[in-house]
Amino acid sequence: MPNTRKFVYTFAEGNKDLKDLLGGKGANLAEMANLGLPVPPGFTITTEACRAFLATGDEPRGLRDEIAEHLRALEVRMGRRLGQADDPLLVSVRSGAAFSMPGMMDTVLNIGLSDTSVAGLAAQAGDDRFAWDSYRRLLQMFGKTVLGVDGDLFEERLEAVKRAKGATSDLDLDAADLRGLVATYKGLIAEAAGQEFPQDPRTQLDMAVRAVFASWNGDRARLYRRQERIPDDLGTAVNIVAMVFGNLGADSGTGVAFTRDPASGKPGVYGDYLANAQGEDVVAGIRNTVPLADLERLDKRSYDRLLEIMGVLEDHYRDLCDIEFTIERGTLWMLQTRVGKRTAEAAFRIAAQLAEQGLIDDDEALRRVTGSQLAQLMFPRFADDGTGAGRLRPIARGIAASPGAAVGKAVFDQATAVEWAHNGERVILVRRETNPDDLAGMVAAEGILTSRGGKTSHAAVVARGMGKTCVCGAEALHVDTTRRRFTAPDGVEVSEGDVISVDGSTGCVYLGEAPVVPSAVADYFEERTTPHDDADELIAAVHRIVSHADRRRRMRVRANADTADDAARALRFGAQGIGLLRTEHMFLGDRRKYVERLVLADTDDGRAAALDVLLPLQRQDFAEVLAAMDGLPVTIRLLDPPLHEFLPDLTDLSVRVALAEARGDEAADDAALLGAVRRLHEQNPMLGLRGVRLGLVIPGLFAMQVRAIAEATVERVRAGGMPHAEVMVPLVGDVRELQIVRDEAAAVFAAVTRETGVDVDLPVGTMIELPRAALTAGRIAEAADFFSFGTNDLTQTTWGFSRDDVEASFFTPYLDAGVFRVSPFETLDGDGVGRLVALAVGEGRATRPDISLGVCGEHGGDPESVRFFHDTGLDYVSCSPFRLPVARLEAGRAVVLADAAQRGGGDTR
Ligand code: PEP
Ligand code: MG
């Protein structure tokens, strides 16, 4: 079959919206080239080609020819051939996926250099040192990423040369040193890789492309994707771009820039610059950079041009952009741009600022923030009133790279971070600088502290992406990872295991544990204060965007709340009712003894007596919550867990009875209780006598609870209130179960109406939390006024694994193996559990079009799941009070994201 697919695109053929095909880097290079900005010529190999390669282990048919064709065109345009002996064209081979994965995949620069062309490059540049430096960099990068030689071996050889010369920086090495190093590196490659470094430029190119494809599945990249919830099947694009050189002397250099401060969102000049250096040096944080503002002094013309381009980019993308650039002998080149990663705080500030400036509308502002970012802003920070970090003296100050307050034991390598965190310790990972191999430790740590590197160093970029506290470039600290300690300027020594506190908002590092205080954003929600003009800009931004979400959302939000206090808190966080009031806590504490009596009663009278004691207590509980939620719906769930949960532990009780017997004591009560506990003991209690099953086998239990609800309603009506209680039956699997409880409830409502003269007829509905309930939802709806999806149990029973046990026992290997992208208890499993939800929604509505549909499992407060529930057509989500702001935001985002998707435009990040 002839090959009809196109795997290679020139920049002229691409644009910023083709990220899925060309990756972010390729799409944005194309966009910049088409804007007329100075981008070195090149082309992009699609993610589709990568996917084909990963599926078969080979380049797809036609790819080699397409590359050859584009390479020829590039050579014609540049007037030089790849690797040409007297004047070589050199190219970079860079990865670039649809989602940015900084430093996670491979890049090879200076492809095309060889033993012959290195002389041509030297002659053309008039600079021997530059040519040999470029060649040794190629050998190093190619050796490590393409041929799999341990990168440290190259570093060791480089250090040895520096040591022999007494040099402190690579810049002190001259052409002869670097030439010697090239010979050493070639020997190292031959020995360690078992093959010579290829001298043929096209072979170099093909091998580098394959290595970049393969790096998609490298350990680092997989871990990062799991962390960032990026799907595993996207593949990376590969960009092949004519090299420009930042290492051509003092009038050359390379840097990164942001159009706004990625930490605060404030407009200005932010970034780092490194003179006489090539690409990766800046991001790797190897040499310390100078602030971008210093470039004005070093090269005013390039600086002015850069600022002008930054303005063009921000206007064009209508967002914060980050940029990588290189200056080659006074000429500025743009190597990359993208809508920049930012902290949660900056995301809200920037979105609100741009909306305020009229650059974007409020819908777009809402699309540009996420529920996870809002959740981060609701995290605590250090107390600054003298009781917290303010009372401790900072031992050092670094760059505030990613905000938040982190306290933990200092650890100095990623393996220890992982191990200690696994054992439940909070740790801070302390390194001179981080590199992608440290990722697992960064994930495990509460915070990250480095002594080198700027705001764009690996540590800073990755920590910000993860929403993790990070202080970097604390240069005054002497970090000794071998001895596992660091020393602060005034001699304070911190060893592995010592507790430190790290403030990612100020850059301060403290010895000891600083107390933390809640976030101002959480306070704002809690108090429901309305910001005014001079209020904190962040609060104003959150207020603006969440208020807009409230205007746009279709779904209502309710809270899972069991007490009047919880209900009051939920109201402050924006609850529009209670979606789940669990009644189990009402049977604990002092009341446990009444449950024991209920279980032990062997006559109807005995049972009725126990229930009679519980009735007024329950009525009081319900009346208080109904008062707190006056005018709003309150869904009260009848007792769910197995009764033995309210009884003493089998082993404890057995011991007590045995001891009493041995002493010859009279312990009839305990003996009877032991009998009951034994009778009720189950191997799989979560699949046992619980939920509606209890209601059917313990006569009077559910009727008592329903009566308490009905009487509380009467009490509230008589007090002038507007109670809206709803009765919810748990763990229903068949309509008949629900019908029995419903009939019983109807009899209670009729009785209470008769007794009190107040008309009580409350909605009765059910949880849908068993697969059978979802599968027979059409029938169940005949007896249900509402469904509330119990996605905790529905996940447990659909997968067939215990929600209480499995997260600790096998989720980590399941995540590693890619069975889960994320725990299904955290984010709804749309493919499986979600299909059951969708089925039940459809069938429920078909039977009863006005049925009310909600969710009250943990997923009701998870950002991604909230959007799923919107798309599935639920009327409301219910979650714990603290998560309500996130649910409100995401319910609004679901609407504006769907709008944008329908229009086929908008930024649906
Ligand atoms: C559920 O199963 O999703 C639910 C909300 O009920 P519980 O967590 O109390 O079992
Ligand atoms: Mg449940």
Q: What pLDDT sits at residue 908?
A: 40
**Which DSSP string corresponds to 341-367?**
P--HHHHHHHHHHHHHTTSS-HHHHHH
Q: Please determine, for residue 828, whether its predicted confidence score (pLDDT) is greater than 90.
A: yes
Helices 537-552 + 520-527 axis angle, to 10: 50
Which residues neighbour 532 within 8 Å (Cβ) at sequence distance 6 or greater?
none
Ligand at minimal distance from the CA of 582 is 1
Token reading at 763: 């909605």
Which segment of 18-27, 60-69, 521-530, 676-685 scores lowest on mean pLDDT?
521-530
Centroid of chain to Cα 544: 23
pLDDT computed for residue 435 by the predictor: 81
Residue type, 714: V
468 or 390, greater pLDDT:
468
Query: Is the residue at 730 inside a domain?
Result: yes
| 311 and 449 share one domain | no
Is the pLDDT reported for residue 390 higher than 70?
A: no
Best of 584, 635, 792 for a ligand 1 pocket test (most atoms within 8 Å of beta carbon):
792
| Distance linking the first and last C-alpha atoms of the chain | 38
Asked if 860 and 731 sit in the same domain, the reply is: yes
**Ligand found nearest the CA of 635:** 1
pLDDT of residue 878: 97
pLDDT value for 834: 98
Strands 447-450 and 427-431, by their bridges, are: parallel
CA dihedral 484, 488, 491, 496 (to 10 degrees): -20
- Please name the residue whose Cα sits nearest to atom 3 of ligand 1: 790
Judged against a pLDDT cut of 70, whether residue 48 lies above it is answered with yes
Token pair, residue 858, equals 């943990």
Query: What is the model's pLDDT at position 465?
Result: 59
Q: Are residues 702 and 610 in the same domain?
A: yes
- Find the ligand nearest to 580 CA: 1
Among 809, 811, 734, smallest CA distance to 777 is for 734
Based on the fold, state whether residues 580 and 665 are members of the same structural domain.
no
> Does some domain include residue 483?
yes
Q: Same structural domain for residues 738 and 881?
A: yes
Write the pLDDT tens digit of every residue in 451-475: 987 766 778 767 765 668 899 889 8
Residue at 239 is within a domain: no
Amino acid at 709: I
- What token pair was written down for 49? 């080609």
Chain mean pLDDT for the chain: 90
Characterize the bridge pairing of strands 786-789 and 764-768.
Answer: parallel
Asked if the structure places residue 803 within a domain, the reply is yes
Locate all alpha helices (DSSP H) within 776-909, ordered by sequence. 777-780, 791-799, 806-816, 833-847, 863-872, 884-903
pLDDT value for 511: 93
When comparing pLDDT for 708 and 458, which is higher?
A: 708
pLDDT(234) > 70: yes
- Distance from the alpha carbon of residue 853 to the mean position of ligand 2, in angstroms: 16
Q: Which of 686, 731, 769, 797 to mutate to test the pocket of ligand 1 (most atoms within 8 A of CB)?
A: 769
Q: Is a pLDDT exceeding 90 seen at residue 646?
A: no
In degrees, rounded to 5, the angle at the alpha carbon of residue 851 between the alpha carbons of residues 845 and 852 is 120
Tell me which ligand sits closest to the C-alpha of residue 855. 1
CATH, residue 836: 3.20.20.60
Convert the pLDDT of each residue in 567-603 to its tens digit: 999 999 999 999 999 998 888 878 888 888 888 888 8
Where in the sequence numbering do the catalytic residues fall?
458, 856
What's the 552 CA to ligand 1 centre distance in angstroms? 29
Residues 820 and 708 in one domain: yes
| Bigger pLDDT: 874 vs 489 | 874
Q: Which of 211-220, 360-369, 807-816, 879-888 has the highest mean pLDDT?
A: 360-369
Is residue 861 situated within a structural domain?
Answer: yes
* Position with higher pLDDT, 22 vs 99: 22
C-alpha–C-alpha distance, residues 513 and 515, integer Å: 7
Per-residue pLDDT band for 530 (boundaries 50, 70, 90) equals low
Model confidence band, residue 107 (pLDDT cutoffs 50, 70, 90): confident
> Is 440 within 8 Å of 546 (Cβ atoms)?
no
Residue 267's contacts (CB-CB under 8 Å, 6 or more residues apart) are: 259, 260, 261, 353
Which of 856, 876, 877, 880 has most ligand 1 atoms within 8 Å of its beta carbon, as the pocket-test mutant? Answer: 856
Residue 236 host element (H or E):
strand 236-242
In a 3-state reduction of DSSP, which class is residue 776?
coil
- The pick from 640, 798, 825, 836 for probing ligand 1's pocket by mutation, whose C-beta has the most ligand atoms within 8 angstroms, reads 640
From the CB of residue 81, how many other CB atoms can be counted at a distance below 10 Å? Answer: 18
Give mean pLDDT, residues 705-723. Answer: 98
CATH assignment of the domain containing 332: 3.30.470.20
Q: Where are the beta strands (DSSP E) in 244-389?
A: 253-260, 267-275, 290-291, 321-328, 331-339, 381-382
The ligand that comes nearest to the alpha carbon of residue 584 is: 1
Rg (CA), the chain: 33
Whether 201 maps to a domain, the answer reads no
Q: What is the pLDDT of residues 50-64, one digit of tens each?
A: 999 999 999 999 999
Q: Which atom of ligand 1 is nearest to the CA of 858?
A: 3
Structural tokens at position 629: 């939620």
429 shares a domain with 290: no
pLDDT of residue 286: 58
The mean pLDDT value for 758-766 works out to 98
Q: How confident is the model at residue 534 (pLDDT cuts 50, 70, 90)?
A: very low
* pLDDT tens-digit series, residues 803-820: 777 776 787 788 878 888
Ligand 1 environment, Cβ below 6 A: 580, 582, 640, 769, 790-793, 856-857
Q: H or E stretch including 107?
A: strand 107-111
In a domain, 451, yes or no: yes
- 3-state secondary structure at position 321: strand
**Region for 271 from its dihedrals, namely left if φ exceeds 0, alpha if ψ lies in -120 to 50, beta otherwise:** left
Q: Separation of 794 CA from ligand 2 center, angstroms?
A: 8
The residue-averaged pLDDT of 194-213 equals: 96
Average pLDDT over residues 631-660: 89
408, pLDDT greater than 90: yes
Looking at residue 533, its pLDDT comes to 43
DSSP state for residue 644 in the 8-state scheme: G
CA of 790 to the centre of ligand 1 (A): 5
Confidence of residue 855 (pLDDT cuts 50, 70, 90): very high
Q: What percent of the chain has pLDDT over 90?
A: 67
Consecutive H or E run containing 241: strand 236-242
Given 342, 360, 393, which residue is the final one in a domain? Answer: 342
716 CA to middle of ligand 1, Å? 28
Q: Whose CA is nearest to atom 10 of ligand 1?
A: 793
Q: Output 623 or 670, whichever has higher pLDDT.
A: 623
Phi, psi (deg, nearest 5) at residue 803: -65, -20
Q: Is the pLDDT of residue 2 over 60?
A: no
Q: Are residues 650 and 564 in the same domain?
A: no
Closest by alpha carbon to 317, among 609, 520, 653, 37? 37
Question: Would residue 302 count as lying in a domain?
Answer: yes
Shared-domain flag, residues 754 and 867: yes
pLDDT of residue 357 exceeding 60: yes
Distance from Cα 791 to the centre of ligand 1, integer Å: 7
How far is 899 from 896, CA to CA, in rounded Å? 5
Q: Tell me which residue range forms the domain holding 704.
A: 558-640+696-903
CB 320 within 8 A of CB 260: yes
| Ligand 1 atom at shortest distance from the alpha carbon of 793 | 2
Instruction: Tell which residue, 579, 581, 578, 607, has the closest CA to residue 595.
Output: 607
Is it the case that residue 426 has pLDDT exceeding 70?
yes
Q: How many domains does the chain have?
A: 4
* CA nearest to 82, candidates 181, 203, 164, 194: 203
In CATH, what number is assigned to the domain containing residue 478?
A: 3.50.30.10
Q: Going by CA atoms, what residue is nearest to atom 8 of ligand 1?
A: 792
| SS3 state of residue 161 | helix
Is residue 883 within 8 Å of 569, Cβ to Cβ? no
Same domain for 468 and 326: no
588 and 670 assigned to the same domain: no
- Closest C-alpha to 566, from 585, 548, 581: 581
Strands (E), 343-497: 381-382, 394-397, 399-402, 405-411, 427-431, 447-450, 469-472, 478-480, 485-487, 493-495
The residue contributing the CA closest to ligand 1 atom 4 is 790
Which element (helix H / strand E) includes 110? strand 107-111
Residue 527 has pLDDT above 80, yes or no: no
* Cβ atoms 429, 441 nearer than 8 A: yes
> What pLDDT sits at residue 776?
98
Q: How far is the CA of 504 from the centre of ligand 2 (A)?
A: 39
Say yes or no: 824 and 894 in one domain: yes
pLDDT tops 70 at residue 685: yes
Question: Nearest residue CA, atom 6 of ligand 1?
Answer: 790
- Go through the chain and tell me how many residues it has: 909
What mean pLDDT do residues 288-300 have?
Answer: 90
Q: Is 833:862 a contact under the CB 8 Å cutoff?
A: no
Nearest to 442 by CA among 477, 487, 472: 472
The residue whose CA has the least distance to atom 1 of ligand 1 is: 790
128-141 and 151-165 helices cross at what angle (nearest 10)? 150
Global pTM value: 0.78
> 591 alpha carbon to ligand 1 midpoint, in Å?
23
The Cα 631–Cα 577 span in angstroms is: 9
Mean pLDDT of 876-899: 95
Q: With cut-offs at 50, 70 and 90, classify the pLDDT of residue 625.
A: very high
Ligand 1: which atom is nearest the Cα of residue 560? 5
> Does 77 score more than 60 pLDDT?
yes
